[in-house]
Amino acid sequence: MTDVHQLPNRTGGPAPESSRHMFEWGVVGVVAQVVFTAGWVIAETWQGPRYGLIQDTISDMQARTAPHVWFPIVCFAVGGLGTFGFAVFGLRPVLSGAGKFVALSPWLIGISALALGNSFPLIPCRLSDPGCTATVQLFSPGGLTDAVVAGLALFVLAFTPGPLGRRLGTLPSWRRVRPVMMAARVVCPVSYLLLAVASSIASMPAVGLIERLLAASCSLWIGALAANLIIESRRHVSGELPVSVVSKF
């Protein structure tokens, strides 16, 4: 077994500045998931009686006609930027020696988060608005952008936990996230496929509920990675992890 990403100091442990770096980006990652989720959970409370959590999507709360549309726009942007920072500047250096796909995963997570964090161009209307239809939404710059960009980003985040979780399960410092990743590798792909099926049906049954399950599940597994980074940084400081964060077998 060969240790990688060594962070030496005089006591044989990690450099304090490296531990602080890990801790700070781990906190950013956790906060980003909370802010992103708050963007759609809180905004649901003022959408009005015509909007329903089961049949209407999160994207509709970013429509030009949505009340207080600035709130989810800001929350999604902050969440996307924070997740990108955590993945690329916090997670990527730590996992750089853990295999090709694991080394690529932070970029996949970060770019997908940026895509989901972008709300522009805005969707012209909500499906719950009088006169608004799925066709009106889709054949608009905002609707088409949301369908393509968000669809691809969710696809990446839905199917990344499978291969990433299997590899992280072999790394001692990351085994504590294995239960979350194992759940995500089932829930996320199934939710994505159900969302694709529901979106293709004219009545779009439960599309809002399915999208919320997928969004929450993705935030949960990304947040678990961020929380583990915080834990590992504290282990570095206490000397419980004296040599390395990641081991290459």
Q: Phi/psi class of residue 48: alpha, beta or left (left: φ > 0; alpha: ψ in -120 to 50)?
A: left
Q: Where are the domains positioned within the chain?
A: 2-124+133-248
What is residue 240's predicted lDDT score, i.e. its pLDDT?
A: 56
Is the entire prediction scored with pTM above 0.75?
yes
In angstroms, rounded to a whole number, what is the distance separating the alpha carbons of residues 229 and 224?
9
**Exposed / middle / buried, residue 48 (Cβ in 10 Å: 0-12, 13-18, 19+):** exposed
Query: Is pLDDT larger for residue 59 or for residue 16?
Result: 59
**pLDDT computed for residue 77 by the predictor:** 98
Report pLDDT for 245: 46
Q: Is-contact 233 22, C-beta < 8 A?
A: yes
Which of 34, 7, 10, 1 minimizes the C-alpha distance to 235? 7
CA distance 56 to 116: 17
Q: What digits encode the pLDDT tens for the residues 26-70?
A: 999 999 999 999 999 999 999 999 999 999 999 999 999 999 999
Report percent pLDDT > 70 for the chain.
Answer: 88
Is the peptide bond prior to 161 cis by the omega test (within 30 degrees of 0)?
no
Question: In whole angstroms, how far apart are CA 25 and each of 30, 88, 90, 166, 195?
Answer: 9, 9, 5, 23, 32
The rounded distance, in Å, linking the Cα atoms of 29 and 168 is: 18
Q: Could you report the per-residue pLDDT of 139-182, keeping only the tens digit for each? A: 999 999 999 999 999 999 999 999 999 999 888 999 999 999 99
pLDDT confidence band for 16 (50 / 70 / 90): low
pLDDT at position 238 is 61
Residues forming beta bridges with residue 2, ordered by sequence position: 248
Neighbours of 53 (CB within 10 A): 15
